[in-house]
Amino acid sequence: MKLLYDYWTKARGIGGSRLQPEDFVVREILDPRLLRREDAKYTLFLVKKRNMTTHQAVKALQQLGWCDIGYAGLKDKFAVTWQYMSALAEPKDYKTKELEAVPVGRSRKLLPGDLICNAFVVTLHGCRDLRNLPVVVDELVQRGLPNYFGLQRFGRYGKNIEIGRHLVKKNFTRALDIINRQSGLRPVRTVPKEQLRFFVNAYQSWIFNEALNAYTKVHRKPYFGEMPLVGYKTNLGTGVMDNLLKEVCRKQSIKPADFRINELMMTCLGDRRRAFIRLSEIEYSLGSNVKLAFTLPKGSYATVLLREMCKN
């Protein structure tokens, strides 16, 4: 199963790597309309976490007494991130070793997608050829970036994709085997539906990546329109992107209707996602390391941008 694809940009990379969570800093930019809800019943918090996934942060905050927690997006683990969360909780400061939360107002419950964008500051150590930096930055700004889903969505060795594919094909025993690492440990219906849906979503994301990669193999002009994210009742037309998605589905022996899994009482709908994103500006400074500052739309992955820049 292929997870990494050919580079879109032709410029040479700069190399480099992140060494500690502080080298990858993310801050959510929330829709400002959500910050003006004084009559809402949820407390809105700005949460800072270090070396912790969003789900781990939610569990830690639940242990502090928070209830019905909502958030706008998932954030990386190996990073320092600021993200907003809503909760039925007392509006006061909370702090643990790796987690801090400060109340900033009232809100309805946050839902995935409520944010506008994410702002990143990334530090790269050990870059090999800084002369390439302005060249690759200029090419990315001029030609855009393929809007691939990042590797972190797919799990180690793509296991999330594999599980999702088995669920869509109704191979529940095989899916459960990979989840549990031993067959028959529990019925698949007892696995939390949110977890099962995450696996299917990973499979949908991989299908999108496969079709987008097929486009970049034969086209050098970016496509800034949207392409389908295949799911239940997705209607694939006759456009270039639709045909590429049809071909991936054909090779996988699946169809949109398969994303309704009646046995699990679960339906994973389709969506639309930009095939390429425009990068308005990438700021950088040079010293003993390289520091990058940029903003990406919600749902786009900084790791995809960094891979194009570093070409390690």
Q: Are 86 and 105 a contacting pair, CB within 8 Å?
A: no
pLDDT at 22: 97
Q: What is the mean pLDDT of each run of 10 residues along the chain (312 residues)?
A: 90 95 96 77 96 94 95 93 96 91 94 93 94 95 97 91 97 91 70 92 98 96 97 96 98 97 96 95 91 96 96 91
Give the Å distances, CA to CA, from 23 to 52, 81, 108, 137. Answer: 14, 11, 33, 19
pLDDT at 252: 97
Ordered by where they begin, the domains of the chain are: 17-122+280-310 (3.30.2350.20), 145-277 (no CATH)
Q: What is the pTM of this model?
A: 0.92
Q: Which helix (H) or strand (E) holds 197?
A: helix 193-218
Catalytic residues: 76
**Looking at beta carbons, which pairs linking 86-93 to residues 24 or more positions away fall under 8 Å?**
86/42, 86/43, 86/44, 86/45, 86/110, 87/42, 87/43, 87/45, 87/61, 88/41, 88/42, 88/43, 89/43, 89/45, 89/61, 89/64, 89/65, 90/43, 90/65, 91/43
pLDDT at 86: 96
Classify residue 152 by its DSSP letter.
Answer: G
In which region does residue 170 sit, left (phi positive, over 0), alpha (psi from -120 to 50) or beta (all else)? left
